[in-house]
Amino acid sequence: MVKFCTNHSQNNHQQCPADNYLINEVTNIRFLGLELDNNMNWKNHIAKILPKLSTACYAVRAMYCTALAA
């Protein structure tokens, strides 16, 4: 369970009982490919996709330079 809040509000950690299970609160979660945290900022998501974007940029740049040399 993620409880979304602002950066300035106090975050009281809670447990939620459901069918004899305790659901613990977490600070971040992956949902539909997005890394969400409880403050609704993009830092975790950007940190996850930055290496993939860097690899893709290198591949495109290498193909472009190869095409210019030919």
Query: Where are the chain's structural domains?
Result: 15-69
Tell me the whole-structure pTM to 2 decimals.
Answer: 0.53
Q: Which residue has the tokens 């659901």?
A: 23
What is the DSSP code (8-state) at residue 27? S
The 10s digit of each residue's pLDDT in 31-69 is: 888 888 877 788 888 999 999 999 999 999 999 998 888
Question: What CA–CA distances, in Å, run from 65 to 8, 54, 56, 59, 62?
Answer: 48, 16, 14, 10, 5
